Structure 1
């Protein structure tokens, strides 16, 4: 009798344990992605593609325009929006010809594509890269660097290098000074360091023309639990104002209408509604909203960018050397029932459709045939398409060479990527 009771308890234990197995996360494409799957099966070229939903982009653009007050100018960040077609589209909708560049080849392309633009460097470049810009800039474009281009300076050493470059070129260079307002990523560390740099600049008249300051405050969006976001924002702004106060003391250097650039996709909403020292914000990612920008401040923005890849193989989810164990593994975790091999891979992206797909940590990543695992409930077959959401857009466009444009679920054109995008 006791033995039967023990056997019964053991059976109940096994049943209870079995009930704790992972639930089946697999689902078929929802209506939106089912439509994209049909589109790519019918009109795709069988290659991985970067898709931009113009309807969602328009909604993000309208939200941004509604939020930005009149005194806060907008500068579009080319590294996150690395397509001349995309930048032109946004510049017209948002009525801005201000762009922020981060790479020398991209800078040259922006000067060619937007000869009326105002360009600001988003990071300090070696003086040699700046020299290459001037060497590669055709003279007939109509773009005038002396009026339309501002280089970023982060140290006294770079200040001297750019002064020497100005002498070598025989023309003055416009500069902005990068200040550290809490991100701890370089730039002039405190107002005293900025003052010393301005003293040096004062001794080099005519070579470098100061336009203003640039301070990035991305740390505010990731404030620690013991510091509220609003307080972190106030601290960063207080630091910015301290730098401005020092710069204003150099009256012969400080322009009448200085550039006070900062913000970014992660914090532009705060600058739009709270007290800000800025007169210009730079952003790009908020308009596409890749995965790393899922923050409360960007909650109303919509994801507009997808990676689409065809399924090359839809097979049993067995692992090398563990084929005999696959029935048990699949029974315990139905999300390991099937394996789907994509065309290409190792993108900085997360599978989003069909739901329930995941990278296989036991198999690893691949740039050639990325392996995803999922349940049979996904309904995927070879030549179906899987959709992934990029974590970031910066550095991604160049991997695909172009953006494929969608409107109303239909393909409506393509935009080429910028070099270095």
Structure 2
């Protein structure tokens, strides 16, 4: 009796364990992606494609403009919106010609494309890269770098390097001073250090101060026990200390100083709290890749997708465990099939059809990415899979163009900055 009782308990345990197996997460494309799938089957190029939904982009841009309400100037971040067509479209819709640039070749590209642009460097450039900008700038442009480019200076050493650059070029340079308001990523660390740089500027007429730049990305990731609002107040208090220090140099401080900061993750806080900034830099919030799924951006919509053709729809067997495949897919129906894509290793997660995932037992591939999923997805080698990027910066450079959607229809193309 005792043995029979133990066997019964063992059987119940096995049944209970079997009941805990993964559920089938697979679904067919929803209505939105099913329509895109049909359009790409008909009009796609058969290549991995970056898709931009203009309706969602418009909604994000209008939301951004409404939140800023004209109280803060907007500077578009080129590294996250790396397409001249996209930047032209947003500049017109958002009525700005201010751009933040992080890469010297992009700086040259924007100077050639936007005659009225106000270009601010978002990070300090090695002086050799700054020199390359002037060497590569055509002489016939309407764009005037002496009035339209502001270089970012983060240390006294770089300050002196740019003085030498200005002398070598025989032209004045506009600069902004980077200040550390809590991110701990460089810049002048204290108001006293900033004052020492201002003292030097008194004797450096080749450099013209435009203002300050203080980045506060840490505010969005502040620990819960302190909170975002307190972190913002602390960062803004530091910013104001730097302003007060700089303002004592009345002959150097501009009448209308540049006070730049913020970012996609914090612009809403600055708009609500009316901080010391007079402009914010925003890029990714307009496309809302997955890394920007935060409460502060909850009303923004994802507008960017990677679409890749399915090259092969196969049984999900692993090469070194084929005999175990019946057991593996019985335990986990989401391992029933394997789908190989054209390309891969993008910083993105599959979103449609639902239930697809990377195969951790197989590994990633930039050539033929393997996804696993259940038969419920109904995918064939005529279909496309859609992935949501985690970020947009750097991603656009991996593609030659953006394909544009309007009301679910493919309506055009914009080249990316690296390929336009």
TM-score (norm 2): 0.99
**RMSD after superposition:** 1.1
Who is 2:326 aligned against? 327
Deviation at 1:199, TM superposition (A): 1.0
Who is 1:212 aligned against? 211
Is the contact made by 1:289 and 1:301 (CA closer than 8 Å) also made in structure 2? yes
Equivalence map 1:234-245=2 (5 Å): 234-245=233-244
Who is 1:292 aligned against? 291
The CA distance in 1 between the partners of 2:77 and 2:121, in whole Å, is 10
Who is 1:117 aligned against? 117
Who is 1:305 aligned against? 304
Of 130-139 and 298-307, the range deviating more from structure 2: 130-139
The CA distance in 1 between the partners of 2:2 and 2:270, in whole Å, is 73
Who is 2:81 aligned against? 81
2:389 matches 1:390: yes
Deviation at 1:420, TM superposition (A): 8.6
2:154 matches 1:154: yes
Provide Cα deviations, 1:235-292, integer angstroms capped at 9, x if missing partner: 0000000000000011111100000000000000001111300000001000000000
User: Match of 2:74, SS?
Assistant: strand
CA gap of 1:382–1:324, structure 2 versus 1, over 3 A, is: same
Who is 1:14 aligned against? 14
Who is 2:94 aligned against? 94
The CA distance in 2 between the partners of 1:185 and 1:335, in whole Å, is 43
Is the contact made by 1:105 and 1:420 (CA closer than 8 Å) also made in structure 2? no
Who is 2:414 aligned against? 415
Of 1-10 and 229-238, the range deviating more from structure 2: 1-10
User: Where does structure 1 lack aligned partners over 5 or more consecutive residues?
Assistant: none
Who is 1:344 aligned against? 343
Equivalence map 1:49-68=2 (5 Å): 49-68=49-68
Provide Cα deviations, 1:378-413, integer angstroms capped at 9, x if missing partner: 111112100000010000111111100000110010
2:205 matches 1:221: no
Deviation at 1:14, TM superposition (A): 1.2
User: Match of 2:238, SS?
Assistant: helix
Deviation at 1:2, TM superposition (A): 3.8
Is the contact made by 2:115 and 2:142 (CA closer than 8 Å) also made in structure 1? yes
Who is 2:107 aligned against? 107
Who is 1:42 aligned against? 42
The CA distance in 2 between the partners of 1:124 and 1:171, in whole Å, is 19
Who is 2:195 aligned against? 195
Provide Cα deviations, 1:287-333, integer angstroms capped at 9, x if missing partner: 00000000000000000000000110111111121000011011011
The CA distance in 1 between the partners of 2:223 and 2:77, in whole Å, is 27
Deviation at 1:24, TM superposition (A): 1.1
Provide Cα deviations, 1:136-174, integer angstroms capped at 9, x if missing partner: 111111100111110000110100000000000001000
Who is 2:277 aligned against? 278
Is the contact made by 2:167 and 2:206 (CA closer than 8 Å) also made in structure 1? yes
TM-score (norm 1): 0.98
Is the contact made by 2:71 and 2:271 (CA closer than 8 Å) also made in structure 1? no
Runs of 4+ in structure 1 off by over 4 angstroms are none
Provide Cα deviations, 1:7-57, integer angstroms capped at 9, x if missing partner: 322222211110011111111111001111111111101100000000000
The CA distance in 1 between the partners of 2:327 and 2:41, in whole Å, is 34
Provide Cα deviations, 1:43-90, integer angstroms capped at 9, x if missing partner: 101100000000000000110111103231000000000000000000
User: Match of 1:123, SS?
Assistant: coil
Is the contact made by 2:50 and 2:402 (CA closer than 8 Å) also made in structure 1? yes
The CA distance in 2 between the partners of 1:420 and 1:176, in whole Å, is 30
The CA distance in 1 between the partners of 2:359 and 2:200, in whole Å, is 56
Equivalence map 1:125-204=2 (5 Å): 125-204=125-204
Deviation at 1:130, TM superposition (A): 0.5
Deviation at 1:99, TM superposition (A): 0.6
The CA distance in 1 between the partners of 2:294 and 2:347, in whole Å, is 18
Who is 1:256 aligned against? 255
Who is 1:374 aligned against? 373
User: Match of 1:79, SS?
Assistant: coil
User: Match of 1:196, SS?
Assistant: helix
The CA distance in 2 between the partners of 1:188 and 1:314, in whole Å, is 56
User: Match of 1:125, SS?
Assistant: coil
The CA distance in 2 between the partners of 1:373 and 1:139, in whole Å, is 55
